[in-house]
């Protein structure tokens, strides 16, 4: 009876994590909706307002490692509660910003730091609660990111139309507090017996690794490099997807639907690839997903019609959305549950740097060449590099041998 109770409540924790990633990442990505209204109302340059997005990912990346460490030491609930308070504070203060630098600080730095508190800690906790369907569990937590373009962004657009950008951002900030603070109290630590059983079942190393040991292993370096290259490859095409569609002659409102479809497809990809990883293993599914992602990026070089954009958005979303949670599964298999928050936080930091690189590089390429050809060509090359790095992941048997030698 107690085993069933623990298993069932683990899915409650997964649901809370999905809500947190949805609201946290949704508020960050909503800047694309706020961009034009803020620029027109305040007279700030679009480049200046867009810089807040780069700050989001940079701050989230640097904070992810710290949040992961804190969650391992003090528990996940305290971390996500602090992040929830900080997220609402960033939105509320940004809504009252009187100058561009204030907006960049409040929206870029505060919200970026806050968003970093949800992803790695909740992914680590979900993997500790759920043993049998671990890949699906972390995929569901990550699925909140896929839902966010379909929830937070449309809500922000409606509020801006009905009121103004300041009121819209203020309302979203208050709503974030109302949703996330109660959800934090649903977060509970996983029973220790579950962690031990899960580690044994997954073939995780029995050695008690320190963080310093883990961060020096080739396995960590490989995971961090693959996640960086994966995000650097897809972040530029995703961020500039609407602009590229408009350049191809697609109407602005219709171009937004291309982006929304990719986000919705990403939700399905997380669930599909998560379920496949439970059956086939995380590594082969990750490699396959990264290869499909790279091919989709290359396909942007030849698409021009609306139907082609829709078809590509479906496949691209499945690929880039589906691979994201698999890194957490591999971290868990390599290093166990005890320091997973810290290690995956460090891996996520590299991923955030990759996410920050793509939008900036795409804007720079467009300013120089007045097109996105070189963005897609460069992203394709980086995508292939991610595939090559993923192929170098060791097998479980080789992993155990390598980690055993390192411990000795």
| CB-based contact 107:60 (threshold 8 Å) | no
Which of the four pLDDT bands, split at 50, 70 and 90, describes residue 207?
A: low
Note whether residue 210 is domain-resident. Answer: yes
In a domain, 336, yes or no: yes
Q: Give mean pLDDT, residues 210-227.
A: 87
290 touches 386 (CB < 8 A)? yes
Span 289-305, mean pLDDT? 95
Residue 407 lies in a domain: no
- The DSSP symbol for 336 reads -
pLDDT, mean over the chain: 84
CATH number at residue 22: 1.20.1250.20
Domain count, the chain: 1
Considering only CA atoms, give the Rg of the chain: 20
In a domain, 408, yes or no: no
386 within domain boundaries: yes
Work out the angle at residue 218's Cα, subtended by the Cα atoms of residues 216 and 221, and round it to the nearest 5 degrees: 80
Residues 6-15, mean pLDDT to the nearest whole number: 78
Structural domain range at position 45: 2-402
**Cβ–Cβ < 8 Å for 153, 33:** yes
CA distances (Å), origin 51, targets 48, 82, 176, 369: 5, 25, 23, 21
- 388 has a pLDDT exceeding 80: yes
pLDDT value at residue 208: 65
Report the pLDDT value the prediction gives residue 128, as an integer from 0 to 100.
Answer: 83
Answer yes or no: is 207 within a domain: yes
Cα–Cα distance measured from residue 305 to residue 319, given in angstroms and rounded to the nearest whole number: 21
> Is residue 88 in a domain?
yes
Alpha helices in 163-305 (DSSP H): 165-184, 192-202, 211-215, 218-239, 241-247, 252-280, 282-299
User: Which pLDDT belongs to residue 200?
Assistant: 42
Residue at 190 is within a domain: yes
How far is Cα 42 from Cα 24, in angstroms, rounded to an integer? Answer: 25
Q: Tell me the pLDDT tens digit for each residue of 94-143.
A: 999 999 999 999 999 999 999 889 988 898 888 888 877 777 788 888 77
Tell me what the mean pLDDT of segment 61-81 comes to.
87
Give yes or no for a contact between 237 and 376, defined as CB atoms under 8 angstroms apart. Answer: yes
Q: How far apart are CA 294 and CA 219, in angstroms?
A: 23
Dist. CA 41–CA 177, nearest whole Å: 26
Structure tokens at 181: 């603070």
């Amino acid at each position: 009876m107690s085993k069933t109770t623990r298993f069932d409540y683990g899915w409650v924790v997964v649901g809370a994590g999905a809500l947190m990633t949805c609201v946290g990442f949704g508020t960050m990505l909503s800047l694309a909706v706020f961009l034009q209204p803020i620029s027109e109302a305040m007279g700030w340059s679009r480049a200046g307002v867009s810089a807040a997005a780069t700050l989001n990912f940079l701050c989230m990346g640097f904070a992810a490692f710290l949040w992961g460490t804190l969650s391992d030491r003090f528990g996940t609930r305290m971390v996500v509660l602090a992040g929830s308070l900080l997220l609402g504070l960033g939105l509320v203060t940004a809504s009252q910003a009187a100058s561009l630098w204030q907006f960049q600080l409040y929206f870029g730095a505060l919200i970026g730091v806050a968003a970093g508190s949800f992803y790695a800690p909740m992914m680590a906790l979900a993997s500790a609660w759920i043993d049998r369907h671990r890949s699906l569990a972390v995929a569901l937590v990550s699925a909140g990111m896929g839902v966010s373009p379909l929830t937070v962004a449309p809500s922000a657009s409606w509020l801006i139309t009905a009121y103004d950008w300041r009121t819209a951002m203020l309302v979203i900030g208050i709503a974030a507090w109302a949703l996330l603070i109660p959800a934090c109290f649903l977060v509970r630590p996983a029973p220790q017996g579950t962690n031990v059983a899960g580690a044994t079942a997954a073939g995780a190393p029995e050695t008690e690794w320190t963080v310093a040991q883990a961060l020096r292993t080739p396995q960590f370096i490989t995971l961090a490099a693959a996640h960086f290259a994966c995000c650097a490859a897809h972040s530029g095409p995703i961020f500039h997807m609407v602009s590229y569609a408009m350049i191809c002659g697609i109407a602005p409102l219709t171009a937004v639907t291309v982006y929304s479809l990719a986000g919705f497809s990403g939700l399905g990809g997380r669930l599909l690839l998560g379920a496949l990883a439970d059956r086939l293993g995380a590594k082969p599914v990750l490699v396959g997903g990264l290869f499909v992602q790279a091919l989709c990026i290359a396909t942007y070089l030849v698409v021009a019609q609306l139907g082609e954009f829709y078809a590509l958005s479906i496949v691209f979303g499945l690929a880039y959305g589906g691979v994201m949670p698999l890194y957490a599964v591999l971290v868990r298999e390599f290093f166990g549950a005890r320091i997973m928050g810290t290690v995956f936080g460090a891996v996520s930091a590299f991923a955030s740097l990759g996410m920050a690189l793509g939008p900036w590089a795409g804007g720079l390429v467009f300013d120089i060449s007045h097109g996105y050809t070189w963005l897609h060509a460069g992203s394709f090359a980086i995508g292939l590099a991610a595939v090559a790095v993923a192929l170098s992941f060791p097998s479980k048997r080789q992993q155990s041998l390598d980690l055993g030698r390192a411990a000795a």
